[in-house]
Amino acid sequence: MSGSRQPRVVIIGCGFGGLEAARALRSADVAITLVDRTNHHLFQPLLYQVATAGLSAPAIAAPVRHLFRTQPNVTTLLAEVVAVDPVARTVRLAGGATLVYDHLIVAAGATHSYFGHDAWAPFAPGLKTLADAFEIRRRLLYAFEAAEQETDAAARAAWLTFVVIGGGPTGVEMAGTMAEIARHTLRGEFRHIDPAAAQILLLEGGERVLPAMPPRLSASARRQLEQLGVQVRTGTRVTAIDAHRVEVQPAAGAPPQRIASRCVLWAAGVQGSPLGRQLAHAAGAEVDRAGRLVVEPDLSLPGHPEITVIGDLAAAQSHLPGHAPRPVPGVSPAAKQMGRSAAANLMRRLAGEPTIAFRYRDWGNLATIGRNSAVVDLWTPWRRVGFSGWFAWVFWLFAHIYFLIGFRNRLVVLIDWASAYWSKQRYARVVTGMAPGTTDD
Amino acid sequence: MSGSRQPRVVIIGCGFGGLEAARALRSADVAITLVDRTNHHLFQPLLYQVATAGLSAPAIAAPVRHLFRTQPNVTTLLAEVVAVDPVARTVRLAGGATLVYDHLIVAAGATHSYFGHDAWAPFAPGLKTLADAFEIRRRLLYAFEAAEQETDAAARAAWLTFVVIGGGPTGVEMAGTMAEIARHTLRGEFRHIDPAAAQILLLEGGERVLPAMPPRLSASARRQLEQLGVQVRTGTRVTAIDAHRVEVQPAAGAPPQRIASRCVLWAAGVQGSPLGRQLAHAAGAEVDRAGRLVVEPDLSLPGHPEITVIGDLAAAQSHLPGHAPRPVPGVSPAAKQMGRSAAANLMRRLAGEPTIAFRYRDWGNLATIGRNSAVVDLWTPWRRVGFSGWFAWVFWLFAHIYFLIGFRNRLVVLIDWASAYWSKQRYARVVTGMAPGTTDD
* Structure confidence by residue, pLDDT tens digits, A218-261: 999 999 999 999 999 999 999 999 999 999 998 778 889 999 99
Compute how many other C-beta atoms are within 10 angstroms of the C-beta atom of residue B4.
7
Residue B173 annotated as catalytic: yes
Q: Does A296 touch chain B (CB under 8 A)?
A: no
Q: Does A282 touch chain B (CB under 8 A)?
A: no
pLDDT for B307 beyond 60 = yes
Mean pLDDT across B274-293: 97
Which of these, B225, B224, B223, B221, lies nearest to B201 by C-alpha position? B225
Distances (CA, A) of B361 to B108, B146, B367: 22, 47, 18
Compute how many other C-beta atoms are within 10 angstroms of the C-beta atom of residue B245.
19
- At residue B422 the predicted structure's pLDDT band, cuts being 50, 70 and 90, is confident
- At residue A407 the predicted structure's pLDDT band, cuts being 50, 70 and 90, is low
A396 belongs to a structural domain: yes
pLDDT for B438 beyond 50 = no
Q: Do B441 and A59 touch (CB under 8 A)?
A: no
The C-alpha of B78 sits at a distance from chain A's nearest C-alpha, in angstroms, of 7
The C-alpha of A92 sits at a distance from chain B's nearest C-alpha, in angstroms, of 14
The C-alpha of B350 sits at a distance from chain A's nearest C-alpha, in angstroms, of 24
Contacting A residues, span 367-396, partner chain B, CB-CB under 8 Å:
none
Chain B interface, best mutation among A8, A409, A440, by max B CB count within 10 A? A440
- At residue B355 the predicted structure's pLDDT band, cuts being 50, 70 and 90, is very high
Q: Which residues from chain A sit within 8 angstroms of residue B141, using beta carbons?
A: 39
- At residue B370 the predicted structure's pLDDT band, cuts being 50, 70 and 90, is confident
pLDDT for B215 beyond 60 = yes
Task: Judge if B106 and B124 occupy the same domain.
Answer: no
pLDDT given for residue B405 in this prediction: 66
Chain B interface, best mutation among A38, A75, A194, A404, by max B CB count within 10 A? A38
Contacting A residues, span 184-213, partner chain B, CB-CB under 8 Å:
186-192
* Weakest mean pLDDT among A309-323, B227-241, B358-372, B403-417: B403-417
Domain with residue B221: its CATH number is 3.50.50.100
pLDDT given for residue B380 in this prediction: 83
Q: Do A128 and B441 touch (CB under 8 A)?
A: yes
* Weakest mean pLDDT among A380-394, B64-78, B204-218: A380-394
Mean pLDDT across A178-198: 94
- At residue A1 the predicted structure's pLDDT band, cuts being 50, 70 and 90, is very low
Mean pLDDT across A378-402: 88
The C-alpha of A166 sits at a distance from chain B's nearest C-alpha, in angstroms, of 19
| Most confident by average pLDDT, A323-327, A390-394, B216-220 | B216-220
State the number of CA atoms in the 13 A half-sphere of A294 facing the CB: 9
B326 belongs to a structural domain: yes
pLDDT for B272 beyond 50 = yes
Task: Judge if A143 and A214 occupy the same domain.
Answer: yes
The C-alpha of B386 sits at a distance from chain A's nearest C-alpha, in angstroms, of 34
Q: Which of A293, A315, A350 is the last residue of a domain?
A: A350
Catalytic residue among B173, B180, B204, B296: B173
Contacts within 8 Å (CB) and 24+ apart, B406-411: B406/B62, B406/B67, B408/A419, B408/A423, B408/A425, B408/A427, B409/B43, B409/B58, B409/B59, B409/B60, B409/B62, B411/A415
Task: Judge if B251 and B152 occupy the same domain.
Answer: yes
* Structure confidence by residue, pLDDT tens digits, A326-352: 999 999 999 999 999 999 999 999 999
pLDDT for A414 beyond 80 = no
Q: From the CA atom positions of chain A, what is the Rg in Å?
A: 23
Task: Judge if B86 and B198 occupy the same domain.
Answer: no
Q: Which residues from chain B sit within 8 angstroms of residue A14, using beta carbons?
A: none
Q: Does B352 touch chain A (CB under 8 A)?
A: no
Share of chain B above pLDDT 70, in %: 95
A299 belongs to a structural domain: yes
Chain A interface, best mutation among B39, B73, B411, by max A CB count within 10 A? B39
Q: Does A128 touch chain B (CB under 8 A)?
A: yes
Task: Judge if B276 and B260 occupy the same domain.
Answer: no
Starting at the edge strand found earlier in the chain, the sheet holding B237-241 runs B237-241, B245-249, B257-260
Rounded to the nearest integer, the mean pLDDT of chain A is 91
The C-alpha of A406 sits at a distance from chain B's nearest C-alpha, in angstroms, of 11
Task: Judge if A209 and A242 occupy the same domain.
Answer: yes
Q: Indicate the length of chain B as a whole number.
A: 441
Q: Do B39 and A95 touch (CB under 8 A)?
A: no
* Structure confidence by residue, pLDDT tens digits, B38-49: 999 999 999 999
A55 belongs to a structural domain: no
pLDDT given for residue B1 in this prediction: 43
Number of domains in chain B: 2
* Structure confidence by residue, pLDDT tens digits, A87-135: 999 999 998 999 999 999 999 999 999 999 999 999 999 999 999 999 9
Q: Is the dihedral of CA A46, A49, A51, A56 positive or negative?
A: negative
- At residue B269 the predicted structure's pLDDT band, cuts being 50, 70 and 90, is confident
- At residue A399 the predicted structure's pLDDT band, cuts being 50, 70 and 90, is confident
A249 belongs to a structural domain: yes
pLDDT for B127 beyond 50 = yes
* Structure confidence by residue, pLDDT tens digits, B68-125: 999 999 999 999 999 999 999 999 999 899 999 999 999 999 999 999 999 999 999 9
pLDDT for B423 beyond 80 = no
pLDDT for A2 beyond 50 = no
Task: Judge if A250 and A379 occupy the same domain.
Answer: yes
Which of these, B179, B295, B412, lies nearest to A58 by C-alpha position? B412
Catalytic residue among A20, A80, A148, A173: A173
Task: Judge if B278 and B264 occupy the same domain.
Answer: no
Q: Do A434 and B69 touch (CB under 8 A)?
A: no
Q: How far apart are CA A291 and CA A270, in angstroms?
A: 9
Task: Judge if B134 and B263 occupy the same domain.
Answer: yes
Q: Does B142 touch chain A (CB under 8 A)?
A: yes
- DSSP strand pairing (B103-106 vs B8-12): parallel
- Amino acid at position A50, single letter: V
Q: Domain of B185?
A: 118-268+372-423
Q: Do A134 and B77 touch (CB under 8 A)?
A: no
Q: Does A414 touch chain B (CB under 8 A)?
A: no
Contacts of A60 (CB under 8 A, 6+ apart): A42, A43, A46, A47, A49, A50, A404, A409, A413
Distances (CA, A) of B322 to A26, B52, B174, B325, B329: 74, 44, 39, 9, 20
- Pairwise pLDDT comparison (A354 vs B404), residue with the higher score: A354
Q: Which residues from chain B sit within 8 angstroms of residue A434, using beta carbons?
A: 37-39, 78
Share of chain B above pLDDT 90, in %: 77
Mean pLDDT across A365-393: 89
Q: What is the ipTM of this complex?
A: 0.90
pLDDT given for residue A439 in this prediction: 32
Domain with residue A306: its CATH number is 3.50.50.60
Picking from A77, A428, A440, the nearest residue to B149 by CB comes out as A77
- At residue B431 the predicted structure's pLDDT band, cuts being 50, 70 and 90, is confident
B432 belongs to a structural domain: no
Mean pLDDT across B193-210: 96
Task: Judge if B218 and B252 occupy the same domain.
Answer: yes
- At residue A431 the predicted structure's pLDDT band, cuts being 50, 70 and 90, is confident
B57 belongs to a structural domain: no
Max intra-chain CA distance, chain A: 73
Give the burial string for A148-181 (b: 16+ CB within 10 Å, else e): bbbeeeeebbbbbbbbbbbbbbbbbbbbbbbbbb
Q: Does B419 touch chain A (CB under 8 A)?
A: yes
Q: Which residues from chain B sit within 8 angstroms of residue A66, using beta carbons?
A: 189, 425, 429
Rounded to the nearest integer, the mean pLDDT of chain B is 91
Q: Are A53 and A78 in contact (CB under 8 A)?
A: no
SS3 of A224-283: the string is HHHHCCEEEECCCEEEEECCCEEEEECCCCCCCEEEECCEEEECCCEEECHHHHHHHHHH
Q: Does A441 touch chain B (CB under 8 A)?
A: yes
Q: Which residues pair with A105 in a beta bridge?
A: A11, A308
Q: Does A356 touch chain B (CB under 8 A)?
A: no
* Structure confidence by residue, pLDDT tens digits, B158-192: 999 999 999 999 999 999 999 999 999 999 999 99
pLDDT given for residue A408 in this prediction: 62
pLDDT given for residue B407 in this prediction: 58
pLDDT for A438 beyond 60 = no
Task: Judge if A136 and A241 occupy the same domain.
Answer: yes
Compute how many other C-beta atoms are within 10 angstroms of the C-beta atom of residue B13.
27
pLDDT for B433 beyond 80 = no
Mean pLDDT across A162-186: 95
Q: Do B80 and A40 touch (CB under 8 A)?
A: no
Q: How far apart are CA A18 and CA A108, in angstroms?
A: 8
**B420: Cα separation from own chain's centroid:** 23
Q: Does B63 touch chain A (CB under 8 A)?
A: yes
B389 belongs to a structural domain: yes
Task: Judge if B344 and B319 occupy the same domain.
Answer: yes
- Pairwise pLDDT comparison (B60 vs A297), residue with the higher score: A297
- At residue B406 the predicted structure's pLDDT band, cuts being 50, 70 and 90, is low
- At residue B137 the predicted structure's pLDDT band, cuts being 50, 70 and 90, is very high
Q: Which residues from chain B sit within 8 angstroms of residue A432, using beta carbons?
A: 38, 57, 129-131, 134
pLDDT given for residue A175 in this prediction: 97
